[in-house]
C-alpha cells in the first residue's frame, strides 16, 4: 500500500512513524512534511488546503491511501476531492468536518443525539457582549467561533479578561462563542469512525495551558499522556456508547456520515462526562503518545476506515505501559513565536526504545542546521512500564535538546502519577 500523509506537524510525524512500522505500507510519502518527517518518509511540497494540488500529488505518486492530518484541509473539502478522484482517503467530508469547523453545527448534532455538553451562546455584535457575559460565569469560557488551533480560547474567572478577549475577537470580525464552564479533568478520546462503526483508541489527556500547574494562556497543547490510570474502564465505555456512537449515528441520519478520526474532548465532572468539543482529526499532542503504544498495523486501521470496512478489522492491540509526550515550544509561544533559532541535541530522527523526538515547527537551513520554524517545535515522546517511567524517559530526552529561549512544561502526567486527579 502506497500512503501519502498530508500535514507538517508532530502529529503527522507520529502517523508516519506508526505507518512505517506497518509491513503492508510499501511506500510512504508526506507533504509538505518537515525536517524530522523527512528522515522517515519521502517528502513533497504541496498546498495542503488545495484539493486540486493534493489530488495531483496523490495521482502522481500512485497513492492507494491519502491520510489528512490537520483540520483546515478537511473543513475545506480536500478529502472530498481525493475521494472524487477515486483514491481512498482517511478523513471526513467537508460536510462531516463541520463537527469541528462549525460550533453551531456541533451543538445542534449533540442536542439531537442527546449528548451532554456546555450551554452556549454566539455573540456577533459588540453591543450584545456585556449582557451575554452577564448570563455566564464566573468562570467564563470565551472562544473564537471558528478554527483557532486551541489558541482562541480563554477560560478565566476575571470578567474583564473575558470581556477583553471577546471584544478583540469581535473587532477582528470573529463571532464569539460563550460557554458555561465544565468542571473536572479532561479526556481526549479518539475514535476511528466509519459511518456507525466506532472503534476507540486509548484515552489520553492533553495539557492545554502554557505553564506548569495549568497556568497561563491556552495553547494548541503542551503535552499529553496515555493511558489514564484514573479513568474507570466503565467511564471510557460510557463515552463510546453514550457520546460518540449517538453522534456518529446522528451524522449518518443527517446524510453527513463521518469517515476518519472523531476526537471527543470531554470534561469528567461529578455528573459524568460532558463534551467540551469535537474535532474531526487526530489531536496534537495526544496522537504522539497514543500511537507510541499502538501494536496493530496503523495502515490497515486507517485504510479500513477509509474504505468502509472498519467493522471487519480486529480491534487495535496496545503495548503495555504508558507514553508521555512533552512539547518543546519556541520563545514567546503561544504569542508570536521567535523562529530561526538553531536546535541541537534533537538527534537525526532516529528513535530508540524509550524515547523519540518528533518534529513540528522545524526546518533545515541551507547550511544543514536544524532551526525552529513554528511555535510548537518538537514533541518528545517517552514510553515506559508505567507513567512515572515514561515521564523519566521523556524528560531525560528533553534535557538533551538545546533551543535558545525555548520552554516546556515539567508536569506532563505528573498529577496522574501522584494520584491528584
Ligand atoms: N490537543 C488539542 C487539539 O488537538 O486540538
Task: Report how far residue 263's alpha carbon sits from residue 281's, in angstroms, rounded to the nearest whole number.
Answer: 6
Pick the residue whose CA is nearest to atom 4 on ligand 1.
Answer: 283
- Domains, the chain: 2-90 (3.40.50.20), 120-179 (3.30.1490.20), 183-312 (3.30.470.20), 322-417 (3.90.600.10)
Task: Please choose, from the candidates 95, 61, 93, the residue with its C-alpha nearest in 3D space to the C-alpha of residue 79.
Answer: 93
**316 neighbors 296 (Cβ within 8 angstroms):** yes
| Segment 276-303 mean pLDDT | 98
Q: What is the 3-state secondary structure (H, E, C) of 334-363?
A: CCCCCCCCECECCCCCCCCCCEEEEECCEE
Contacts of 351 (CB under 8 A, 6+ apart): 17, 357
Find residue 342's DSSP bridge partners.
371
Give the model confidence (pLDDT) of 204-214 as tens digits.
999 999 999 99
Task: Please choose, from the candidates 231, 232, 208, the residue with its C-alpha nearest in 3D space to the C-alpha of residue 220.
Answer: 208
Find residue 278's DSSP bridge partners.
264
Tell whether ligand 1 has an atom less than 6 A from the beta carbon of residue 71.
no
* pLDDT for the residue 352: 67
Find residue 328's DSSP bridge partners.
378
Q: Which residue has the cell 515539567?
A: 410
CA–centroid distance, residue 150 to ligand 1 (Å): 7
Instruction: Record the cell numbers describing residue 21, joined without a space.
Output: 512500522
Instruction: Record the cell numbers describing residue 385, joined without a space.
Output: 512500564
Using alpha carbons, list the distances in angstroms from residue 204 to 185, 189, 394: 11, 6, 16
Give the model confidence (pLDDT) of 313-363 as tens digits.
999 999 999 999 999 999 999 999 999 999 999 986 556 679 999 999 999
- Diameter over CA atoms, the chain: 59
Tell whether ligand 1 has an atom less than 6 A from the beta carbon of residue 150.
yes
* pLDDT for the residue 153: 85
Q: Is the pLDDT of residue 135 over 90?
A: yes
Q: Is the pLDDT of residue 152 over 80?
A: no
Best residue among 9, 206, 224 to mutate for probing ligand 1, ranked by most atoms within 8 Å of CB: 206
Task: Report how far residue 300's alpha carbon sits from residue 316's, in angstroms, rounded to the nearest whole number.
Answer: 10
Amino acid at each position: 500500500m502506497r500512503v501519502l500523509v498530508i500535514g507538517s506537524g508532530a502529529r503527522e510525524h507520529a502517523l508516519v512513524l506508526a505507518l512505517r512500522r506497518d509491513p503492508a505500507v510499501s511506500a510512504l510519502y508526506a507533504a509538505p512534511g518537515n525536517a524530522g518527517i523527512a528522515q522517515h518518509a519521502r517528502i513533497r511540497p504541496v498546498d495542503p488546503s488545495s484539493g486540486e494540488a493534493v489530488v495531483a500529488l496523490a495521482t502522481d505518486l500512485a497513492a492507494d491511501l491519502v491520510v489528512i492530518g490537520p483540520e483546515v484541509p478537511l473543513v475545506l473539502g480536500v478529502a472530498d476531492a481525493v475521494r472524487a478522484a477515486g483514491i481512498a482517503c482517511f478523513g471526513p467530508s467537508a460536510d462531516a468536518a463541520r463537527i469541528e469547523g462549525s460550533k453551531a453545527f456541533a451543538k445542534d448534532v449533540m442536542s439531537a443525539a442527546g449528548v451532554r455538553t456546555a450551554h452556549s451562546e454566539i455573540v456577533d455584535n459588540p453591543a450584545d457582549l456585556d449582557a451575554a457575559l452577564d448570563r455566564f460565569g464566573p468562570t467564563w469560557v470565551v472562544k473564537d467561533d471558528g478554527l483557532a488551533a486551541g489558541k482562541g480560547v480563554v477560560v478565566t474567572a476575571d470578567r474583564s479578561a473575558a470581556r477583553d478577549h471577546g471584544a478583540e475577537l469581535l473587532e477582528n470580525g470573529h463571532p464569539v462563542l460563550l460557554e458555561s464552564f465544565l468542571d473536572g479533568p479532561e479526556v481526549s478520546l479518539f475514535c476511528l469512525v466509519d459511518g456507525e462503526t466506532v472503534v476507540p483508541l486509548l484515552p489520553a489527556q492533553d495539557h492545554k495551558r502554557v505553564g506548569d500547574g495549568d497556568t497561563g494562556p491556552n495553547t494548541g497543547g503542551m503535552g499529553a499522556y496515555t493511558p489514564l490510570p484514573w479513568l474507570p474502564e466503565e467511564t471510557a465505555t460510557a463515552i463510546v456508547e453514550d457520546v460518540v456512537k449517538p453522534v456518529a449515528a446522528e451524522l449518518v441520519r443527517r446524510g453527513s456520515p463521518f469517515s476518519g478520526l472523531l476526537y471527543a474532548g470531554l470534561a469528567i465532572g461529578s455528573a459524568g462526562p460532558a463534551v467540551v468539543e469535537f474535532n474531526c482529526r487526530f489531536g496534537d499532542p495526544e496522537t504522539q503518545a497514543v500511537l507510541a503504544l499502538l501494536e496493530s498495523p496503523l495502515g490497515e486501521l486507517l485504510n479500513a476506515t477509509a474504505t468502509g470496512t472498519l467493522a471487519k478489522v480486529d480491534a487495535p492491540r496496545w503495548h503495555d505501559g504508558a507514553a508521555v509526550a512533552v512539547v518543546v515550544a519556541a520563545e514567546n509561544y503561544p504569542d508570536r513565536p521567535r523562529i530561526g533559532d538553531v536546535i541541537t541535541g534533537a538527534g537525526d530522527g532516529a528513535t530508540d526504545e524509550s524515547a523519540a523526538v518528533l518534529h513540528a515547527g522545524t526546518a533545515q537551513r541551507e547550511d544543514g542546521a536544524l532551526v525552529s520554524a513554528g511555535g510548537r517545535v518538537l514533541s518528545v515522546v517517552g514510553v515506559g512500564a508505567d507513567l512515572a517511567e515514561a515521564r523519566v524517559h521523556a524528560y531525560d530526552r528533553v534535557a538533551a535538546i538545546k533551543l535558545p529561549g525555548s520552554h516546556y512544561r515539567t508536569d506532563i502526567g505528573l498529577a496522574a502519577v501522584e494520584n491528584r486527579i
